[in-house]
Structure 1
Amino acid sequence: MKIKFSLLLFLISIFVSCQSNNSIKKNLITGITTIGDGLSCSTVFLSDETNKIERTTFTYGERFYLNFDNITGFIKKNDYVFPGMRLTITDKAGDTLLFKNDMYEKNTSGFNLSPLLLRANIITGAPIHSKKEYNANVYIWDKIGKGTYNAKMKFKVIANDKLSIINEGVSYDELYLFSLEENAAIIDGEIKFDQTIYCMIEGLNGFKVENQKVAIGLKMIITDANGMVILNEEDLVGDMVINSLELTKQLAPKFTISPSNIKNPLTCEIMVWDKRSSNKLSISTRLNIK
């Protein structure tokens, strides 16, 4: 009887699978799990701006893509298909940090491409934080049909290890370099001439407050590999006092390097100190001009 019962369960399992349009796959390297119902996809993979990647740990501020290559099964209208794509990012507790109801909302004319590649763009910036793990859920649906496709993955965000940071009595939430022109964090230490570079310091605390004001100093020195001084600012703030809440929100000193005979790598040093105490924050990094 036990053998017959096991066989019966096996046959039922096969029958249920055959009757369902669901297809479940899992990438053992990235951990991406996909479930298709009416829609199918040849390959689901991660990439940065240019290359395919097989990692799920990203530097704070980094941009990556969840790609759906050759996704099929959409109902066609005049040879065009109309996909929708919903992105949800949650933390380990299940709280929703980011929700984009339809990343293709503005595409009302549809797609007439074969093979069709859909991409979910994910930036590991606020409200995401470093030193934490997150869940990404991408839900794709056919806007004129019933087909759906769902992908889930876990990823981790770390601080940029190319930034050497010494904090003495000062704390911060996030610290990273940001390019205004690229509208992106600088992850690899590569910059361009005439590029506006910000050193973004968020959640800065540890300064003595008087009448809701703080008195800080801000020093920035940049030298090249030959020791040539490119920038030397002993105190960008001077005698000004700053609203303490504004400082906590964000401090963003910036610099731009004009075309000249500079030898890579550059050394960039930034120091923020409290003029009313001995507390300070020192930042150092190497940069290369492409």
Structure 2
Amino acid sequence: MSFSCQYSEGVKIDMATGLSTSYNGLTIDDIYLADENGNRLGDNKIIMGSKLAIVATGVDYFMEKDGKVFPGCNILLTDKTGEEILNLPDAFAEMVNGTTASEAKILQASLNTGDPMIVGETYHLYVRFYDKNKKENEIMANVDLLMKE
């Protein structure tokens, strides 16, 4: 078992999309909104029925256990009143045996848009990537999404 003495804390804001990210304990090189093909989005206007993702690259400083790391991912989508449309406590729940630190360098939280979302409405997407071995180590990303036809 290894322990890291590294400490990281920071904030990133993507002015084009409005994606706001803070991180504590984990590090990132970049984080962005992407379409279903992994292409960086230039704004927060999302076509209804499409798939999008928040992608974090260069993620590091997970606590390793037996050569594996255990990332978690919470995805929360709310409407403009704060009503929950989706609350997924751990999108990585199937990763019970962990993964290698090199495979965890890129983390992706995906969202399929559609019913009950409405064209013309704004929704708030909150994603939290975290270390299951040290839950206070996290990357938190928030963005408002405007649904379009």
Large movers: runs of 4+ above 6 Å: none
Q: Which residue of 1 aligns with 2:4?
A: none
Question: TM-score, normalised to structure 1's length?
Answer: 0.46
Cα distance, 1:109 vs. partner? 1.4
Structure 1 residue 133 corresponds to structure 2 residue 122: yes
Letter in 2 for 1:27: D
* Secondary structure, aligned partner of 1:28: coil
14, 18, 21: which is aligned to 1:27?
Answer: 14
Cα distance, 1:52 vs. partner? 2.3
CA separation in 2, counterparts of 1:24 and 1:59? 28
Cα distance, 1:113 vs. partner? 4.4
Cα distance, 1:123 vs. partner? 1.1
- The answer for unaligned runs of 5 or more in structure 2 is 1-6
Q: Which residue of 2 aligns with 1:181?
A: none
Q: Is the 8 A contact 1:39 1:73 kept in 2?
A: yes
Letter in 2 for 1:157: M
Q: Is the 8 A contact 1:98 1:127 kept in 2?
A: no
Aligned alpha-carbon RMSD (Å) = 1.6
Structure 1 residue 118 corresponds to structure 2 residue 95: no
Letter in 2 for 1:152: N
Deviates more, 1:115-124 or 1:135-144: 115-124
- The answer for unaligned runs of 5 or more in structure 1 is 1-19, 160-290
| Greater Rg by CA | 1
Cα distance, 1:21 vs. partner? 4.7
Letter in 1 for 2:14: N
| Per-residue deviation, residues 28-51 of structure 1 (Å, max 9, x unmatched) | 111111111101211101222222
Structure 1 residue 103 corresponds to structure 2 residue 91: yes
| Per-residue deviation, residues 150-200 of structure 1 (Å, max 9, x unmatched) | 0001111012xxxxxxxxxxxxxxxxxxxxxxxxxxxxxxxxxxxxxxxxx
Question: TM-score, normalised to structure 2's length?
Answer: 0.87
* Secondary structure, aligned partner of 2:29: strand
Greater percentage in helix: 1
| Per-residue deviation, residues 47-86 of structure 1 (Å, max 9, x unmatched) | 2222222221111111111101111121011221101100
Identical-pair percentage? 25
Q: Is the 8 A contact 1:34 1:151 kept in 2?
A: yes
How many residue pairs were aligned? 140
Structure 1 residue 149 corresponds to structure 2 residue 139: yes
